[in-house]
């Protein structure tokens, strides 16, 4: 029995992948899938702002790919949006301030749909949450989970579109977030009847600390594969 810590990497099938956008760019990524069983659902991870260090290796998404295929039978797609660099490499193109990234989101959804991966859920963090709200309301998408949503680029029209879709929307909002804190988040998301806003006491925008990582991953699993919730804190070798 091994305790799961910040650096634990659990078994999975991990493949380097390339997404091709409709405007001709190649985006680098990784798909992690359960090693022995079919996946129950799929997470499409949309990373934080690349001009402030966001990338496919941003720690919540890295740890999701390290843990959730084994612990919760989830497939996890991580990728760098246009112009973004990580250890996996640099995606082609240049940062589009959230506009041309619509093609990146569409490419990720199409990639998963073409592989017939099950139950596609967008998981957007900060800038990525804006991309999910603006560009991810797609027929192939089951729902979205938003981490630290600023609601700056995404506005009421985007929220209204999600309301009309009826698709589940979960927002995890840190108590001490730099941009949008729980009271205002509940007000803003109030126009989406099916939205659930969870304020996380003590948390900050970047979710630093294993305690907060576990809260985030637990809530993701609670929504996408409740049969595996709550997540264990130990792994049977």
Q: Which residue has the tokens 């084994």?
A: 70
CB atoms within 10 A of CB 183: 11
- pLDDT above 90 covers what percent of the chain? 99
Q: Which helix (H) or strand (E) holds 100?
A: none
Bridge-based pairing of strands 85-86 and 74-79 is unpaired
- Identify the band that residue 120 occupies on the pLDDT scale cut at 50, 70 and 90: very high
Is 90 exceeded by the pLDDT of residue 80?
yes
Is 90 exceeded by the pLDDT of residue 237?
no
Is 90 exceeded by the pLDDT of residue 96?
yes
How far apart CA 130 and CA 151 sit, in angstroms, is: 7
Check: pTM over 0.95? Answer yes or no.
Answer: yes
Mean pLDDT of 141-149: 98
For residue 111, the enclosing domain spans 2-235
pLDDT tens, residue by residue, 9-47: 999 999 999 999 999 999 999 999 999 999 999 999 999
pLDDT tens, residue by residue, 180-212: 999 999 999 999 999 999 999 999 999 999 999
**Contact at 8 Å (CB) between 72 and 50?**
no
- pLDDT above 70 covers what percent of the chain? 100
- Identify the band that residue 167 occupies on the pLDDT scale cut at 50, 70 and 90: very high
Residue 197 tokens read as 């806003």
Query: What pLDDT shows up at residue 225?
Result: 98
Mean pLDDT of 128-156: 98
- Identify the band that residue 171 occupies on the pLDDT scale cut at 50, 70 and 90: very high
Half-sphere exposure of 186 (CA within 13 A, CB side): 7
Is 90 exceeded by the pLDDT of residue 1?
no
Short-list 157, 153, 143, 180, CA closest to 95: 153
Overall number of domains in the chain: 1
CATH number of the domain within which 69 lies:
3.40.50.1820
């Amino acid at each position: 029995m091994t305790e799961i810590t910040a650096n634990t990497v659990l078994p999975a099938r991990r493949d380097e992948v390339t997404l091709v956008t409709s405007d001709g760019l190649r985006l680098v990524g990784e798909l992690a899938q359960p090693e022995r069983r079919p996946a129950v659902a799929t997470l499409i991870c949309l990373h934080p702002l690349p001009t402030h260090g966001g990338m496919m290796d941003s720690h919540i998404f890295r740890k999701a790919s390290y843990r959730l295929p084994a612990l919760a039978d989830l497939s996890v797609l991580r990728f760098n949006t246009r112009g973004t660099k990580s250890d996996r490499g640099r995606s082609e193109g240049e940062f589009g301030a959230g506009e041309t990234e619509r093609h990146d989101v569409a490419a990720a959804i199409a990639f998963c749909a073409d592989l017939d991966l099950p139950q596609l859920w967008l998981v957007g963090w900060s800038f990525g949450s804006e991309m999910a709200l603006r560009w991810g309301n797609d027929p192939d998408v089951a729902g979205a989970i938003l981490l630290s949503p600023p609601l700056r680029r995404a506005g009421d029209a985007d929220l209204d579109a999600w309301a009309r879709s009826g698709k589940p929307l979960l927002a995890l909002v840190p108590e001490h977030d730099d941009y949008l804190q729980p009271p205002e988040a509940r007000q803003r998301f109030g126009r989406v009847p099916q939205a659930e806003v969870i304020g996380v006491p003590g948390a900050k925008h970047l979710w630093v600390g294993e305690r907060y990582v576990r809260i985030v991953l637990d809530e993701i699993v609670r929504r996408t594969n409740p049969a595996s919730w709550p997540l264990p804190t130990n792994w049977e070798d």
